[in-house]
Each structure stands twice: as C-alpha cells, then as structure tokens.
Amino acid sequence: MHRSPAVRGRGITKSFGDVVALDGVDLDVASGQVHGLVGPNGAGKTTLLGLLLGLAVADSGRLEILDTPVGRTLAVPDGVAGFVDGPGLYPSLTARQNLSALASLRRYDAGRTADVDDVLEQVGLTDVADDRVRGFSLGMRQRLGLAAALLTKPRLLVLDEPRLLVLDEPANGLDPAGKHHVHRVITGLAADGTAVVLSSHRMDDLAALCSEVTILATGRVVFSGPVSKLAAESGELDYRLLTSDPAAAHRLASETPGLRVVPGRDPGQRPDADVVVRGPVPALDELVVRLVRDGVALRELGPVVAPLEAAFLALTGTGTVPAQADQEDQR
Ligand SMILES: Nc1ncnc2c1ncn2[C@@H]1O[C@H](COP(=O)(O)OP(=O)(O)OP(=O)(O)O)[C@@H](O)[C@H]1O
Ligand SMILES: [Mg+2]
C-alpha cells in the first residue's frame, strides 16, 4: 500500500532569543508510522512537536503536514491532534466532563456519550470516569490527555484524511497497566494509517512502540532511521561476565585478541566478582570458547548498557542514560 508522508520537514530552525531550540532539523514521518523523538532535556523535542501542532511557527525551513505546507499563522493543521507539555485539563471537572467540554469547545460532532465512553474505555479510565480530575495521578492525567486527543478521530474519519497524532511524553508517569493501554491505542491507530509522533525519555518505550526514531541533541538531528539501525550504531559495547573463576576470566579476557578488560575492578577480591570487557562480538565469542576450554563456567554474559541506550549515549555525547531502565524493562 502506498503511504503518503504525514510529515515532511526540511531545515527547520526555531530560536527563542539567543537559544537555538531547533537548528536545521529534517523530519519524515510516513502515514501509519510511529515515530519516536528522543534526546536529552532541552534538545528541542517539545519545540518540534509544538510546530507540528501549530502552536508555534518555525523561523525558517519548510514543513508540510498531511500534504499541506504549514504557513506563517498559528493554527492546528486539519487532521492533527495531540498535546505538548502535558494535557490541559480542568481539575474541578470529572474525566467525562472534561472530554465533553473539550468536544463541544472544538465543535466536534462528538460530545456524544458514545464517543466519550469509547475513548475512556480505550485508555482504561472507565472506572474513574466520574471522578474529579483534581484527584488524578500523573499517569491518569496522561491517559486522559490521550483520550482527549483520540476524541478528534471520529471527525477525521468522516473527512477520510490521513491523520497525525502528536504526543509529548505520553508514557510519562504510567504504571504497567497504563502503559499497556497507551501502547495498544497507539499501535491500533498506526495500524489504521494514523501517523504518530511521540517523544519519550525511555529508549525501551521507543523500541517497543516506534519503527523509526529521530534523536535530537541541542536542536540538531544526530540520528534518524529505523530502530534496528540505531542498535547497530552503538559500536563496541561493554559486556559484564560472571564466571566461576573471575581471576582466570580476567586473564583469559586480557589475552583474547580484540578484547580489552575495562579497568576499575579487582577480580581477585570476591569469588563472585564480575569482569567487564569491551570489544566486538567475534572477540567475545572467542573469549567464551577459551573460558570453556579452560574449564571456567560462564554464568552470565550481557551488555552493561542496553545497545539502544549505548547508541543514544554515544550519539548525544551525554553522560547519562535517558532513563536507566532496569534490566527487565529492556527485554
Ligand atoms: N517558550 C520558550 N521560551 C524560551 N526558551 C524556550 C521556550 N521553549 C523552549 N525553549 C528553549 O528551547 C530549548 C528546547 O526546549 P524543548 O522544550 O523543546 O526541549 P525538550 O527536548 O522538550 O526537553 P525536555 O526533555 O526537558 O522536555 C531549551 O533550551 C529551552 O529552554
Ligand atoms: Mg519536552
């Protein structure tokens, strides 16, 4: 099936006074694609998403959304829904009232109970539909924000247009059930042809949801492409080995061509101490062969930092991982 681009941005620049928030950014998002934006704090993610939502205009560059060039006036382009910097909600109203108010405000043919109930159900908020938003947790607010964005869908379907959903950190503050709901909603929309552009600080979330990612660092694109290609960008990784004989493992690792033992550990001190090595996968294979040949049992072997996060660190030059997800999350 031919899928027209939902977003085509070229050389987009946006400054706030002396701060260059976006510096010649290109962005391509196909219909039906979930595209992730990632980058350190202040990289320009929210600024870029704001341009897609018509909340600001670029200083220079070209931006086409759903085949329509974006002009100089502030307006939400037709067929686009979403939020940046957290959804705007009325704390004194219930979840249901917030959605109904929003629907009538935007003069959708919605506000219809069926639509409101449907989106509440999709994000898993049916049980708290009649509770005031004031008492909602961060994750519940995020889910309600997604429900609000989803309310536009009926109108968009009527117009039979390609659609674009823009979400700034939609998974922020979500518990596992909330994450599951949000992931399912996003994946479902994409399968129906909606393009989704979302930002996240979590590489594991992006890997689970997105087919393509754009990495921004201080307003510039440092990587754009498939997630699978990103993992390959990480180059040589550090691997942690847990063996029955750390001292022997240390010696064998330092003798294996292409491998380097990462210093800072003293394998002689503890019987269960690990050894950290750096090198390409074939050299690691060779080490495993040597360990086994010398009767050293290999108990654990894995990258110290997950490949996607290692790529992120290398590309953005940051010393911190966007979110140090625990090992289980990364699988
Ligand atoms: N309205 C504004 N006025 C002045 N400076 C701004 C404004 N909006 C953004 N900036 C600046 O532009 C840069 C990019 O900000 P942006 O909010 O887009 O980053 P971000 O990638 O979303 O960061 P975070 O991960 O913290 O959400 C920052 O240096 C920020 O201080
Ligand atoms: Mg932001």
| CATH number of the domain encompassing residue 324 | 3.30.70
For the stretch 22-37, pLDDT in tens is: 999 999 999 999 999 9
Q: Is 226 found in the same domain as 109?
A: yes
Query: Which uninterrupted H or E stretch holds 54?
Result: none
Per-residue pLDDT averaged across 163-192, rounded? 87
Q: Is 143 found in the same domain as 246?
A: no
Q: Is 247 found in the same domain as 215?
A: no
Instruction: Categorize the per-residue pLDDT at 270 as very low, low, confident or very high, splitting at 50, 70 and 90.
Output: low
Q: Is 320 found in the same domain as 191?
A: no
Atom in ligand 1 nearest the alpha carbon of residue 22? 14
Q: Is 218 found in the same domain as 85?
A: yes
The domain boundary residue, chosen from 232, 267, 297: 232
Residue of minimum CA distance from atom 30 in ligand 1: 42
Residue 258's domain spans which residues? 237-330
Q: Distances from the Cα of 96 to the Cαs of 37, 138, 154, 263, in angstroms?
A: 30, 17, 17, 58
Evaluate if residue 38 carries a pLDDT over 80: yes
| DSSP code for 259 | -
Share of the chain above pLDDT 90, in %: 41
Say if residues 147 and 98 touch (Cβ distance below 8 Å). Answer: no
Structure tokens of 165? 């959903």
Report the pLDDT value the prediction gives residue 109, as an integer from 0 to 100: 54
| CATH number of the domain encompassing residue 127 | 3.40.50.300
The Cα–Cα gap between 65 and 39 comes to: 23
Return the best residue to mutate from 27, 47, 53 for the ligand 1 pocket (most ligand atoms within 8 A of CB).
47
By the CB criterion, residues less than 5 angstroms from ion ligand 2 are: 45-46
Q: Is 115 found in the same domain as 254?
A: no
Q: Is 313 found in the same domain as 256?
A: yes
User: Residue 193: left (phi > 0), alpha (psi -120 to 50), or beta?
Assistant: left
The Cα–Cα gap between 58 and 36 comes to: 20
Report the pLDDT value the prediction gives residue 128, as an integer from 0 to 100: 94
Distance (angstroms) between ligand 2 centre and the Cα of 53 equals 14
Atom in ligand 1 nearest the alpha carbon of residue 17? 4
The domain boundary residue, chosen from 185, 200, 232: 232
Lowest mean pLDDT among 31-40, 66-75, 118-127, 197-206: 66-75
Q: Who wins on pLDDT, 3 or 188?
A: 188
Count of domains for the chain? 2
The domain boundary residue, chosen from 173, 202, 232: 232
Evaluate if residue 327 carries a pLDDT over 80: no
Residue of minimum CA distance from atom 29 in ligand 1: 42
How much is the pTM? 0.78
Report the pLDDT value the prediction gives residue 244, as an integer from 0 to 100: 92
Report the pLDDT value the prediction gives residue 104, as an integer from 0 to 100: 73
Residues in contact with 258: Cβ distance below 8 Å, sequence separation at least 6, in sequence order: 279, 280, 282, 283, 286
Residues 270, 271, 273, CA angle at the centre, nearest 5°? 60
Report the pLDDT value the prediction gives residue 159, as an integer from 0 to 100: 46
Instruction: Categorize the per-residue pLDDT at 177 as very low, low, confident or very high, splitting at 50, 70 and 90.
Output: confident
Ligand 1 binding site (Cβ under 6 Å of any ligand atom):
16, 19, 21, 39, 41-47
Q: Is 95 found in the same domain as 117?
A: yes
Say if residues 219 and 56 touch (Cβ distance below 8 Å). Answer: no
Q: Is 219 found in the same domain as 202?
A: yes
Atom in ligand 1 nearest the alpha carbon of residue 44? 18
Say if residues 79 and 66 touch (Cβ distance below 8 Å). Answer: yes
Strands (E), the chain: 5-16, 19-30, 34-38, 60-65, 68-69, 80-83, 164-167, 195-199, 212-217, 220-226, 237-243, 260-261, 274-279, 298-303
Evaluate if residue 180 carries a pLDDT over 70: yes
Q: Is 186 found in the same domain as 52?
A: yes
Average pLDDT of the chain, as a whole number: 83
The ligand placed nearest to the CA atom of residue 220 is 1
Q: Is 22 found in the same domain as 169?
A: yes
Evaluate if residue 152 carries a pLDDT over 60: yes
Atom in ligand 1 nearest the alpha carbon of residue 40? 25
Evaluate if residue 80 carries a pLDDT over 90: no
Report the pLDDT value the prediction gives residue 273, as an integer from 0 to 100: 66
Q: Is 243 found in the same domain as 227?
A: no
